[in-house]
Structure 1
């Protein structure tokens, strides 16, 4: 995958996703379509699933859905719970809160354990919450919260959740394939991710791994489900098929991207992300920005969020970056929309793109402050 760091892009796409995709991966989608009930697709499905499991670091079942990441977020609710069940959602931002919104739509009772934006999950508070809510069946957390640029410590969280034998559900949409997230070692029961993030693949596919414990929850789950019913995925996978028509073109791209990630080796992929994150954070601080996370130790390795100076408009900065310098970044979400800038650096990011980003920011800020 590293060989594509020298690729020149006309636009410096620094979103939390989708990420820039090298042409060799993107062009896989131009292959002729095939029968998704035939032997050729069966081989592709099994091959991609095996490689995904390798990167997920799991022996658990894993399924590929044609959907956005939010699709498998919903699947992580509907497949393992029943109406009236209680769950704990430990949230540090916008996407953690999405678990709550989905669960409430299914009439699941949510105990919200919310932490201030910019902070990470406090495990002392988490354990106290679990003790106070003995009826809770599961804990839902977001590994990497892209709305705030915070990365939670799954190792510490896992010790607490497994101590009380609760179902451990993790949103790894913007972390898996970019930072270490070893499913089995961390005893994660349900882990989800999506193709447009660190997998360096176009949007359209999402992934969900399911432990034996999670299957036991699934057996007694009575929430309505159809498209995301994992029993259908399990039964069809035995036949080498998806239950519904898949995004075949994106599957081609995924297959190529997985080969490149595995060829590079995951330790090198993780180290590459760590180095890029450090470079970007350091340069942003050097030009006067303040990190939004309250402690750099839990700053994300896939997205950096920074506070904007007072009397500065995020909208104007973002517009200037895109219109004058072909650099695309994001504002904050919700009540952070005019308070922070979010810069994605998951996937492939070259030194030239980092310099391009920083120089463009400097110029945009100079003109903003004139």
Structure 2
């Protein structure tokens, strides 16, 4: 059926009707008093979401822009950094760091496995001269469905060095608890098309006091992503460049929805959907690519045995108008990924598990009686 596609990918995520409606308004002047009121309100809402009193700055750009901004505004050419690499996005930050002339030390893990906090501890303790200036990592590794132990890794950074922590929280912010001030994280980057429940186009950088102190020493080239310009104008409820005005309308609407639901309820909803998805998949005889103990609340990666994952994705899209994400790089055709992030409800979880079970039955790959997977999912949704 035309225009019925249901996004069950890690981004872009579904957008609420009232958020879409807010975007249909005529643009207003980005130097007007009306727009300044929106900037003022959304800035306070963003601080609420990040659980911080620090500066949270909005950039018109993707989550990669936010991460690049966090890196180039706190570091200098030749600085040593530790990059965590256990997936596609960990690899990306290594590439960004090297592009700016940073000296990268790696903490690696196989795709589907979490980063080991002890490896960060070891490298930091070996750095007796204090040359390591930052630890850069992805919290929720979208490519594999792994969530890394950001809290413990950040504790190791703070206990063993004067380095700052720069965290990609693009698919974790708004899905699980990340209390920036309580944990002492220095830089958090995120993007609008994930837990924020709005279309792509805005990104956010939260900067601690220690991050701004590092900024004073930074000499990497920057212009559009110069966060000093964003801070200066943010203090006046404005923006240094022409922002995506209608996305600000959406941001205000979505953050207001999130505040009404409440942080703890948002986190509980994502955890519940994660468990219902994982248990339903296991009950129908499929393998999880990532163990439940370190699975992301935003996305579940599935590794079907002896079945092309792309075939499953294609059939589910054609038969049920549900879009799942595929594997990336060497995992293409080996895994598919189910997003349960942002504006997702019980109906969406029931639909995707039912569609998956029906598809396996259709191609003769369901090895257990039909209905076992969806029964498990419904049981969890009804009792959690």
TM-score over 0.5 for the pair: yes
The match for 1:300 is 296
Q: How many angstroms does 1:351 deviate by?
A: 2.2
* Distance in 1 separating the partners of 2:20 and 2:143: 27
Q: Does 1:309 align with 2:290?
A: no
What SS is found at the alignment partner of 2:182?
coil
Name the count of aligned residue pairs: 360
* Distance in 2 separating the partners of 1:192 and 1:368: 42
Structure 1, residues 239-272: CA drift from partner, whole Å, max 9, x if none?
3210111111111011011111011110001001
The match for 2:332 is 337
* Distance in 2 separating the partners of 1:59 and 1:353: 35
The match for 1:5 is none
Residue pairs, 1:353-364, within 5 angstroms: 353-364=348-359
Moved more, 118-127 or 224-233: 118-127
**Which segments of structure 1 move beyond 4 Å, counting only runs of 4 or more?**
none
Q: Pick one of 335, 339, 344 that aligns with 1:349.
A: 344
Moved more, 71-80 or 360-369: 360-369
Q: How many angstroms does 1:332 deviate by?
A: 1.1
Q: How many angstroms does 1:352 deviate by?
A: 2.1
RMSD: 1.3
Residue pairs, 1:127-206, within 5 angstroms: 127-133=121-127, 134-163=130-159, 164-206=161-203
The match for 2:32 is 38
What SS is found at the alignment partner of 2:98?
helix
What SS is found at the alignment partner of 2:338?
strand
What SS is found at the alignment partner of 1:346?
coil
Given that residues 327 and 334 in structure 2 are in contact (C-alpha distance below 8 angstroms), is that contact kept between their aligned partners in structure 1?
yes
What SS is found at the alignment partner of 1:179?
coil
* Distance in 2 separating the partners of 1:230 and 1:187: 20
What SS is found at the alignment partner of 1:201?
coil
Q: Pick one of 352, 361, 364 that aligns with 1:366.
A: 361
Q: Pick one of 276, 281, 301 that aligns with 1:284.
A: 281
Q: How many angstroms does 1:165 deviate by?
A: 2.2
The match for 2:322 is 327
What SS is found at the alignment partner of 1:197?
coil
What SS is found at the alignment partner of 1:76?
helix
* Distance in 1 separating the partners of 2:74 and 2:312: 43
Given that residues 317 and 368 in structure 1 are in contact (C-alpha distance below 8 angstroms), is that contact kept between their aligned partners in structure 2?
no
Q: Does 1:81 align with 2:81?
A: no
Given that residues 320 and 355 in structure 2 are in contact (C-alpha distance below 8 angstroms), is that contact kept between their aligned partners in structure 1?
yes
Q: How many angstroms does 1:369 deviate by?
A: 4.3
Given that residues 71 and 166 in structure 2 are in contact (C-alpha distance below 8 angstroms), is that contact kept between their aligned partners in structure 1?
no
* Distance in 1 separating the partners of 2:235 and 2:143: 38
Moved more, 215-224 or 125-134: 125-134
Is there any run of 5+ residues in structure 2 with no aligned partner, and where? 366-384
TM-score by length of 2: 0.91
What SS is found at the alignment partner of 2:183?
coil
The match for 2:9 is 15
Q: Does 1:262 align with 2:265?
A: no
Structure 1, residues 296-337: CA drift from partner, whole Å, max 9, x if none?
111111100111212x21222111111111010011111111
Moved more, 83-92 or 357-366: 357-366
What SS is found at the alignment partner of 2:112?
coil
Given that residues 15 and 329 in structure 1 are in contact (C-alpha distance below 8 angstroms), is that contact kept between their aligned partners in structure 2?
yes
Q: How many angstroms does 1:69 deviate by?
A: 0.4
TM-score by length of 1: 0.95
Given that residues 12 and 357 in structure 1 are in contact (C-alpha distance below 8 angstroms), is that contact kept between their aligned partners in structure 2?
no
* Distance in 1 separating the partners of 2:31 and 2:234: 11
Is there any run of 5+ residues in structure 1 with no aligned partner, and where? 1-8
Q: How many angstroms does 1:87 deviate by?
A: 0.3
The match for 2:93 is 99
